[in-house]
Each structure stands twice: as structure tokens, then as C-alpha cells.
Amino acid sequence: MNQIASAMQSGNSFRRLAFVASDTPEAQEAKLRLSAAYGDAQPEEADAIIALGGDGLMLQTLHAFLGTGKPIYGMNRGSVGFLMNEYREDGLIERLAHADATKIHPLTMTVTGQDGRQHTARAINEVSLLRQTSQAARLRISVDGRVRLEELICDGCLVSTPAGSTAYNLSAHGPILPIYAPLLALTPISAFRPRRWRGALLPNRARVDIDILDPGKRPVSASADHKEFRDVAQVTVHEDADLDGLIMFDSDHGWDERILTEMFRY
């Protein structure tokens, strides 16, 4: 058991639980049953937040409680559950007491639109840039103020955290990162030129600047998880080391095991 989990177990008996659920009938029914069995505290008074749904709900819940120190424990009542534990109604308090907790840091995305206005959003999984029309995007990529790729012609690109490396990043043929790796994955999406560029692994302290070349003819959108901005001119991405969230997994099927299973899947 890691140090975070040990501290939580010794200082927190998980007597007060708050339940959040997606809108699906399965998740709503689970919330009713679990609330009747364990009570349903207000989130600000709870020792842990129990998220019932799929990975989308888990991301929403993590965003909602970033920086609060509230551990989030998910149980799968949705269609995708990489971030979720198996759904069982019995023994929930004991499962929480023995769960491993992992601290994750989000990415901060700063977008400058073609109108000059700036917007900021955070991502737990990834920041993604995508072409808005049939025209391929033209991007210039800099790392820590130094241009590393003068021109990338592609459908888009993304910057992924270890937590998000098995999501969109993996679908774009990016690398899977162990959850404690101090790295970010920079991955192209359908690169046309340079055709052989497969992306880069960057230290998590790096700042990535992406300039959209010819944005009027080749417009690009930028998203931080589910928050999207259209017609962007420039995007800056960095990890926010001062902000964190806590996600909990059953000790017999923790994140390390999930990552290894995914790496050897064929």
C-alpha cells in the first residue's frame, strides 16, 4: 500500500460517503441502493466520494473535486470502466479502507483564439487539437520556448498525462505511460508530414506551445478533456504541479496492474 493510502487508512475510517451517479438507469438505481445502505453525506462533509457510472463520470467527478483532498472511488455502472472498480454493493467500507490511492496532476491549457481572447481549462486525460474542416491542420510545436517541429501537417495532435495515456492517446498509437512516470506524451493524429514522426515523450515539467499556421484557411479546435474551444490561434499546455486529485482503486487490481494488462493486450 502506498504512503497516501496508508495515511488515509490510519486517519480516515470512511464513515461518511457521498454518492454521485451518471444519468443512466443502472447508475441511478445503484445510487439509491447504496445510499440506503451506507447513507449519503454532503460532498463537503464526506470522507470519500463514490462515483457510479463510466469513465466520463469519473473525469467529471475528478474535475469537480480537484484540490479538495477528497478521494474519489469509482464503481462501474457505465459502458467504459478503465478508471472504475468492479461494482459490488457489499463490503464497501472495507474496500475503501484497503484501496490504493493515486495522486494525479491535471494539465492546464491556455488558448488564444483568432479574435485574440484567451481562455483557460484543465485536463486530467489530455489536451487535444483537431482540424475543424476537410483541410489538414498545420501546426508548429515548441517545447520550453524552443521550436522543435517547424511544421506538422496532420488531423491534429494531443498532449496526454499518464492517467490519459490509455485513452485517446492510445487510440492515436501513442505510448502507454505508467501512472507515476514524470512524463507527458505528445502524439500526432494522422500525421501527413513529417509522415514518420510518431511523437515524443516529454518531462512533465515541460511547457508545450502549439501555433496554428494559416488558421483562417485551416481552422483548429482545442479541447481539455470535454471543454472545447474553436477557431484557436495558439495553445499552451503544462502540468499544474500545485493542483492534484486523488483516485482510488481496489488493492488487488490497482492502476499499475491495469496499465500492465493494457500493455500486453493484443
55 is catalytic: yes
Q: Is 126 annotated as a binding residue?
A: yes
β-partners of residue 248 are 73, 101
Sign of torsion over alpha carbons 242, 247, 252, 256:
negative
125 is in an annotated binding site: yes
Any binding-site annotation on 171?
Answer: yes
* Neighbouring residues of 87: CB distance < 8 A, sequence distance ≥ 6: 30, 52, 75, 76, 77
Query: What is the C-alpha to C-alpha distance for residues 97 and 44, in angstroms, rounded to an integer?
Result: 20
Sheet holding 137-143, edge to edge: 118-123, 107-113, 232-239, 208-213, 137-143, 146-154
User: Is there a binding annotation on residue 167?
Assistant: yes
Does the annotation list 155 as a binding residue?
Answer: yes
Say if residue 163 carries a ligand binding annotation. Answer: yes
Sequence-distant (6+) residues with CB within 8 A of 95 are: 73, 85, 88, 250
**103 - beta bridge partners?**
246
Q: Tell me: is residue 56 an annotated ligand-binding position.
A: yes
CA–CA–CA angle 211, 186, 85 (5° rounding): 130
Q: Which three cell numbers stand for residue 168?
A: 485517446
Ligand-binding site membership of 166 (annotated)? yes
Give the 3-state secondary structure of residue 209. Answer: strand
Query: How many CB atoms lie under 10 A from the CB of residue 205?
Result: 11
Amino acid type, 266: Y
From 23, 40, 47, 55, active-site residue: 55
- Residue 116 Ramachandran class (φ > 0 left, ψ -120 to 50 alpha, else beta): left
Closest-CA residue to 116 (of 257, 234, 23): 234
Task: Indicate which residues carry an active-site annotation.
Answer: 55
Annotated binding site for NAD(+): 55-56, 125-126, 155, 163, 166-171
